[in-house]
Each structure stands twice: as structure tokens, then as C-alpha cells.
Amino acid sequence: MSSDPRAPADGARTFGHVLVNTLVANVTTSFLWFALTFWVYLETRSVLATGVVGGAYMLMLAVFSMYFGTLVDRHRKRDVLLGSSLVTMAAFVAAGALYAGVGPDAIVDMTGPWFWLFSGIVLFGSVVESLRNIALSTLVTLLIPEDRRDRANGLVGTVQGLAFIVTSVFSGLAIGQLGMGWTLLIANALTVCTVIHLFFVRIPEERPAVDVDGRRPTVDVRGALAAIALVPGLFALIVLTTFNNLVEGVFMALMDPYGLTLFTVEQWGFVFGVASTGFIIGGLVIARWGLGDNPLRTMLVVLAVLSVVNATFTLREWPWLVVAGIWVFLLLMPAVEAAEQTIIQRVVPFATQGRVFGFAQAFEAGSAPVTSFLIAPIAEFWVIPMMESDAGAQRWGWLVGAGDARGIALIFFFAGLVMLVISLAAFGTRSYRVLSERYRTGATADT
């Protein structure tokens, strides 16, 4: 017998309001985040700089995620959403004031303090907005009946795809045509809109119960671990997605430098915009048909296919191949994310879901900066120069061809192979069998 709350009659309508608000919030932070990454690379032409910025975002996300999960479990979800938007708004206003005060020339100088302060403020505002993702995952449990949660998670993927299209296209245009100053102004205006809308949204939810013993640690790691330990195989699922993020950190660090060798910044934004239709289609497919009777099996199959795509979409320096590869990647990603969320929503009681989602996000986000920080200097100082040499071109040219970014392509190939081996090996584990059975029977950890 599950302890999950019964979805209210108008739960789907309320969820729709929250989803639209989250769409605008995601558009805002992604718009500014993409713009910052584009701007940093175009001003510095440094793979190391983009790797540091990308890795710093994921590292901050990992540091704060457990705290975010604890907040979600201890407060009403509307209060969490509103608080997140207010903090993000304050950070973006501060970034705009700093940009106006010291000027772009001082901020773009990586040897000075202003670059790191400005980037840190923008990253902090973006990371705090991610608190919404944990709250939204628990709101699926609160507002949507159990047999439709996988479809609701598919709609979440669709919203993320829409946000990706808007931000990737307009971030490139904003930096290429308007500059960083106007980009900051637009981000601030959109953040204000999300705050105003949330004041009119009502989410039916009882006040979360206070701990019986009165002890309320700020970051409840023990509570998260206890909730995970009650579900056999759940920790293995988190480890699997962590390995996936570890590999994806390679692409996070090097994808923009690779793309900007083939396209202008405006074209690169449009490439992501076109490719992001895959995210929308993938989310809509899940929203319509769900994930099947075993989301974990679906997840592993999709991860294996994604690994092959990641290994092959840059084997030749063909723009159409890059666009096709990114499109297929984004088409399949909603299934991976929705599967993990659907499993946790089914096997973990509502009262502890925030901490479990926060723990998972901390682990998964924390893995990406490890490879991001490692791979950026390895690529810039070793692999790329090696592939630009005659010896490197002769040794690996049969595999990755010739071009300006063959070193990055070689790294992508081996990263994809690593994830392929891991995803296929997971099918033979005991954790896969146990968690699949747990999901099938619908048993939560409190049963």
C-alpha cells in the first residue's frame, strides 16, 4: 500500500500551470547560460575556458542538490518554486549591475577577478533555478495519477525541448547581434515574469510533517541514504546514470568548441534549435505511449543506442552528420530522464522523494565536472595538438578523417564506446532484475 497522496481532480490543470511557468524559467536560465558559454568562447577562443565554465556549473549543481532535495521535502512545493525564482532574479540583477559597472573588457579577462565573479553569479542563479527540477519531479507524484506519470514525465521532456530550441537559437542571435548587455536585460525581464505568474498559482498540498525527534539537518544525507537503501537496486540505478553523466561531461566540455569550428555562432544556435525538435518529438512520444511495462529496460536500450550515436556523429567533419547526431541524441534523451523519474516516483514514498531526487542529481551532476575539468586541458594540450601533427593524422585519420577538430572527434568516439559497454553490461546485473520486479509489483519502500 503506497503512502503517495491521491491526485486531486484538477491536478492535471495545476500541473499544466507549473509546467508553463517552468518552461519560461528554463528558457530564461538556459538562454543566459548558452549565451555565457558562446560569449566566453568567442572572446577567449579557449576550449579550457568553456570547459571550466561548464564544469563549474555542474560542480555547483552537485554541491547544492542535496540541500535542494531537503528543502523540497520540508516545504510546500509552491513556496520552493517561488523562492527559487526570487533568488535567481536577484542573481541575474546582480550580474547585470556588475556588467554595467565594470564593462565587458574587464569581465572577459580571465586573469582578473571580474570574469570569475560575473560567471559565478550567473552560474549561481542558474543552479538555484534547477531546484525547480526536483520540485517538479515530486509534483508529478502529487498531481498526476500513478498510471499516467510516465506520460507526464514525457511532457516535462517536451517542455525542456521547447526551452532548448528557444534558447539555443536566440542565445546565438543575442550574442551575435545584440551583445551580452542586452542578453542580461532580456533574462532579467523573463525572470520577473515567472515570479509574477507564481503568485497566481495554487498547489493543493498539506504542510510536510515535522521530524518527530525535532532534529532537522540542513542537508539530510542520512535521510536520503536511508530512503534509497530501502529499495534494492535503486542505488545501482543512480550509479548507472552517474556513469552516463560522467561520459556526457566529455561532450559538455567539447561540444561548443567543436560546433563553433564548423559554424558561426548564429548558425550554431540554429543547429541546436533545429536539432532540439528531436527533444520535443521524443517527449511527445513518451507523453502519448509511455515507457512500456519496464522503464528500466527501456532506459538501458536507449542508453546503448545513444552511445553508438555519440561515438559516430563526428567521425567525419560533415555539418549534416553533426546536426543528425545531435537530433537523434535529443530525440532519445527524454526517455532516459523520464525512465529514472518514473521509477523513483513509483518505488519511493512521496515524503522522501525530494531527498532521493536531490541525492541522484548531486551524484549525476557531480560526475560531469570531473570529466569536464579533466578533458578540457587534455584536449587542448595533448589530443588536439597530437591530431594536428602528421603522426597523429596518419595513425587515426582512417577512423576520424581529416579536419580542424579531429582531436575532439577522437575523444567523442572513445567516450561513446565506454558508455556502450556499461549500458550493455547493466542488463546482466542482479540490480536490474530486482529493481525491474520492484517496479512491476508497484511496491514502495514503506510497504
- Helix ranges, 231-349 (H): 234-262, 265-275, 277-289, 295-312, 319-347
Cell of 424: 550493455
- Helix/strand number for the chain, H first, E second: 19, 0
Q: Please spell the DSSP secondary structure of 383-421, one letter per residue.
A: IHHHHHSHHHHHHHHHHH-SSTTHHHHHHHHHHHHHHHH
User: What pLDDT score was predicted for residue 1?
Assistant: 38
Of 291, 191, 190, 310, which Cα lies nearest the Cα of 247? 310
User: What pLDDT score was predicted for residue 413?
Assistant: 92
Cell of 81: 518554486
Cell of 49: 575556458
Amino acid, res. 447? T
- Residue 381: partners with Cβ closer than 8 Å, 6 or more residues away: none
Model-wide pTM > 0.85? no
Residue 295 burial by Cβ neighbours in a 10 Å radius (0-12, 13-18, 19+): buried
d(CA 92, CA 94): 5
Cell of 108: 572577459
User: What pLDDT score was predicted for residue 55?
Assistant: 67
Q: Give the torsion through C-alpha atoms of 266, 272, 275, 279, to 10 deg.
A: -150
Amino acid, res. 186? I
Q: Crossing angle, helix 295-312 and helix 406-426, to 10 degrees?
A: 160
User: What pLDDT score was predicted for residue 2?
Assistant: 46
d(CA 302, CA 394): 34
Domain residue spans of the chain: 11-200+221-441
Sign of the alpha-carbon dihedral angle for 205, 206, 211, 215: positive
pLDDT tens-place values along the chain, 447 residues long = 345 667 677 788 888 899 889 888 888 888 887 788 777 777 776 666 666 666 677 777 777 888 888 888 888 888 999 999 999 999 999 999 998 888 877 877 777 788 889 888 988 888 888 888 888 888 998 888 888 888 888 887 777 667 766 676 677 777 777 788 888 888 899 999 999 998 888 888 777 765 555 566 666 777 788 888 888 888 888 888 877 777 777 877 788 888 888 888 778 877 877 877 888 888 889 988 888 889 999 999 999 999 999 999 988 888 889 899 989 988 888 888 889 889 988 888 888 888 898 888 887 776 766 676 677 778 878 888 888 888 888 888 888 877 777 888 888 999 899 989 999 999 989 989 999 888 888 655 554
Cell of 220: 539530510
What three-state secondary structure class fits 7?
coil
d(CA 86, CA 64): 17
User: What pLDDT score was predicted for residue 196?
Assistant: 92
CATH code: domain 11-200+221-441 is 1.20.1250.20
pLDDT tens digit string along 421-438?
999 999 989 989 999 888
